A and B are shown apart, each in its own frame.
Chain A
Amino acid sequence: MLSKYTGKRRKQAITGLLFILPSLAGVMVFVFFPFLDVLCQSFQGPVLREWRGIENYRILFETSAFRLAAMNTLRFTAVCIPVLVVLSLLLAIVLQNIGTSGRIFKSAFLVPMAVPVASVVLFWRVMFHEKGLLNALLAKLGGISKDWMNTGTAFWILVGSYIWKNLGYDIVLWMAGLMGIPSAIYEAARVDGAGHFQCFLHITLPNLKPMFYTITVLSFLNSFKVFREGYLVAGDYPHESMYLLQHLFNNWFGKLEFDKIASAAVLVVLVITCLILLLKRIWEQEGKHR
């Protein structure tokens, strides 16, 4: 394949390949080839590896635990991502408007990224215990206390913890997007008599569109990490409202149900690859506009 490359370009190509070689070798050995193996396994029986076609996938969809976990993950994503994306955009705009003093706040919002999950577990326990701080507060205000972790509210606590952790990350991204809009456009619009809200609607929002797609995809991928909080606080089998795909993978692994992991992993890869292809198309279209 190097034959197209002659003389100086050939030397360049070889140098480039040598630079990426260690990384590429590791990626192939640890991820890529084993994944192809897993892809094959997803069509085979667990022990003898006889060909089974899509049988594994059919069984997967009939497993009630898979359906519960997939639905919960879907519900979790559907709730979290819109809330996070909108909230972080609003905060980014406020931060942008107050100018340089916004820097310190931006750092404050990033603090949760630095807090290990293991450390906040203690806070979580004191807060949401049946006799914890949240209930104490509610009792003072005349509300009714709840067992937060062992009812449907567990789901909402997980949502809150995800937003807490990722708010700063998304704010930084939105602010980068806001900075990228040339101020000349705003000035021209003001000369034409546009108000604040009109500027926001007709300049800010359309210009933030590519950033919006990127942030949505990155927020979705980061959402897989809520397993850390969920696991450290509630263990292998938390309340069923927060039993996510990640818990299921982990429990299957414990029971050595590799055929199920294989087919579920292939499904997750399919979903994510589609998302990335979509994102790539948007990036390329943006490139053409500029």
Chain B
Amino acid sequence: MKKKIISICLLLMISALVCYPVLFLLTGSVMGDQELSQELGTALSEGKGYVSWRLLPMTPTLRHYVELLLDSPEFFHMFWNSVKITGGVLIGQLLVGIPAAWGFAKYRFPLKKVLFFLYLILMMMPFQVTMLPSYLTLNRMELIDTQWSVILPAVFSTFPVFILYRFFCSVPEALLEAARIDGAGEKEVFLYIALPMGSSGIIAVFVLGFLEYWNLIEQPLVFLKSKNLWPLSLYLPNIDAGSAGIAFAASMVTLLPAFLVFLWGRDYLEQGIVASAVKE
């Protein structure tokens, strides 16, 4: 029992440390202007001494959020860019990836092993490797500096195919045979057996994908030259807010969608992480 209490205390301390940056941003976003400049003033101007920080604000206010949401059309524009890119990528990935994963999991066809190994290798490649090949293709298609240049290569990422494959493999073969004997065609088997039985895999891919693409930096940095096409993830540090409070509120609003998706789908997130590593 004593051992358990020690473990829990230790875990509490470490997880508090891990989650602290989120609390920090939340505190800053509801702190009044005066308090903020008192606390952070020395870092912003060339004053003496150090910045300080309270765990909780003395005078909590929602003013920064109101200012951000009412007076910063720029922020809205970038937020909308992020929604378009993330939404486009996720819809595309699911449309293309679900059938592909089903094909790999349940059908035999020539070169299947070779192709799947190719998918595995491509899934592991960091962006820096595919940067130049993708750029050359996108350039030929004249898509550079449009949001399609970020969306299209990501749609054909092989990572979701791999995760979904792992989930689809656990659908029992006997069930498919039974459906076929009852006269279901391949299309019906896909729509009425694969999709419902793979639903937790589909949600896992959605959650993992959302966290990844809401946080996209490398691709827009290379493929989007006009700053007004940039997503929030790249643009945020450039916001010259004038006030620290607005910067804090903007950081919180950027964090919020990812955080909500995380809270809603954390079980599926765990399943997805496990599927990326464990061979069934």
Interface residues of A (CB under 8 A from B): 1-2, 4-5, 9, 12-20, 22-24, 26-27, 29-32, 34-35, 37-38, 91, 94-95, 97-98, 101-102, 105-123, 125-126, 129-133, 135-136, 139, 145, 164, 167-169, 172-173, 176-177, 180, 211, 214-215, 217-218, 221, 224-225, 227-228, 231-232, 245-246, 249-250, 253, 258, 261-262, 265, 268-269, 272-273, 275-276, 280, 283, 286-287
| B116 closest partner in A (C-beta) | A20
Q: Are A31 and B156 touching (Cβ within 8 A)?
A: yes
Asked whether B156 lies within 8 Å of A172 as measured between CB atoms, the reply is no
Q: Is the beta-carbon distance between A115 and B255 smaller than 8 angstroms?
A: yes
Rounded to whole Å, the gap between the CB of B249 and the closest CB of chain A is 11
Closest to B278 in A: A176
Contact B131 A228 (CB under 8 A): no
Is A19's CB under 8 angstroms from B274's CB? no
Q: Which residue of A lies closest to B12 (CB)?
A: A105
Q: Are B277 and A211 in contact (CB under 8 A)?
A: yes
Between A and B, how many residue pairs show CB distances below 8 Å? 291
Asked if A261 meets B132 with Cβ closer than 8 Å, knowing A20-B115, A94-B10, A131-B51, the reply is yes
Q: B residues 88-104 with Cβ under 8 Å of A?
A: 95-97, 99-100, 102-104
B95-127, CB under 8 A of A: which get 1 and which 0? 111011011101111111001011111101111
How many Å lie between the Cα of A265 and that of B125 in the bound state?
10
Q: Can you list 8 A-B pairs with a CB-CB distance of less than 8 A? A: A20-B103, A31-B130, A31-B153, A108-B19, A119-B251, A120-B21, A145-B50, A214-B277
B120 CB, nearest partner CB in chain A, Å? 7
Among the listed A32, A101, A116, A276, which residue makes an inter-chain contact with B120, where contact means beta carbons less than 8 Å apart?
A: A276
Which DSSP category, helix, strand, loop or mixed, fits chain B's interface?
helix
Contacts of A273 in B (CB 8 A): 121
Give the chain B neighbours of A12 by CB distance below 8 A: 107-109
Is B232 located at the chain interface by the 8 A CB criterion?
yes
4 closest residue pairs by CB, A with B:
A16-B107, A19-B103, A34-B133, A26-B156
Classify the secondary structure of A's interface with B. helix
Taking Cβ atoms with an 8 Å cutoff, the residues of B that contact A are 4, 7-8, 10-11, 14-15, 18-19, 21-22, 24-25, 28, 40, 42-43, 47, 49-53, 95-97, 99-100, 102-104, 106-112, 115, 117-122, 124-137, 152-153, 155-156, 158, 161, 186, 190, 211, 214-215, 217-218, 221-222, 232-237, 247-248, 251-252, 254-255, 258-259, 261-262, 266, 269-270, 273-274, 276-279
Taking the closest CB of chain A, its distance from the CB of B99, in whole angstroms, is: 4
Give the complex CA separation of A288 and B96 in angstroms: 33
Distance to closest chain A CB from B122 (angstroms): 6
Considering the chains assembled together, what is the distance between the CA atoms of A42 and B152 in angstroms? 25
Contact among B8, B10, B15, B233 for A101, CB-based, below 8 A: B8
The contact of A269 among B111, B129, B247, by CB within 8 Å, is: B129
Asked if residues B215 and A105 are in contact (CB atoms below 8 Å), the reply is: no
Interface contact B274-A173, CB-CB below 8 Å? yes
Q: Could you tell me if A20 and B269 are in contact, using CB atoms closer than 8 angstroms?
A: no
Q: How far is the CA of A38 from the CA of B153 in the complex (A)?
A: 16
Closest chain-B Cβ to A237's Cβ sits at a distance in Å of 15
Q: Do A261 and B110 form a contact, CB below 8 Å, given A23-B161, A34-B137, A136-B51?
A: no
B81, chain A: closest CB distance, angstroms: 13
Which residues on the B side are within 8 Å of A31 (C-beta)?
A: 122, 130, 133-134, 153, 156
Once A31-B133, A231-B221 are accepted as A-B contacts, the answer to whether A119 and B99 lie under 8 Å apart by CB is: no
What residues of A have a CB within 8 angstroms of the CB of B247 in the complex?
122
Report chain A residues within 8 Å CB of B7. 94, 97-98
Cα distance A217–B215 when bound, in Å? 22
B258 neighbours in A (Cβ, 8 Å): 114-116
Q: How far is the CA of A192 from the CA of B254 in the complex (A)?
A: 56
In the bound complex, do residue B18 and residue A164 qualify as a contact, i.e. CB atoms below 8 Å apart? yes
Selected contact of B262 from candidates A17, A105, A110, CB within 8 Å: A110
Q: Name the contact of A27 in the complex, choosing from B47, B108, B117, B119 (C-beta under 8 A).
A: B119
How far is A287 from B277 in the complex, measured between Cα atoms in Å?
Answer: 14
CB contacts (< 8 Å) of B47 on chain A: these are: 131
Who on chain A is nearest to B187 by CB?
A15
Q: Using A1-B110, A24-B115, A119-B252 as known contacts, list a sample of 6 further A-B pairs with CB atoms less than 8 Å apart, ordered by residue number in A.
A: A31-B153, A108-B19, A126-B53, A176-B277, A176-B278, A232-B237
Write out the residue numbers on chain B whose beta carbons fall within 8 Å of the beta carbon of A95: 11
Chain A residues contacting B125 (CB-CB under 8 Å) are 268-269, 272
A290, closest chain B residue (CB): B279
The answer to whether B43 touches A268 (Cβ under 8 A) is: no
| B217 touches which of A167, A180, A231 (Cβ 8 Å) | A231
How many Å lie between the Cα of A245 and that of B217 in the bound state?
A: 16
Is B128 a contact partner of A246 (Cβ separation < 8 A)? Answer: yes
Q: Out of B18, B104, B259, B277, which one reaches A215, CB within 8 Å?
A: B277
Residues of chain B with a CB closer than 8 A to A122's CB: 25, 28, 247-248, 251
| Bound CA–CA A276/B122 (angstroms) | 11
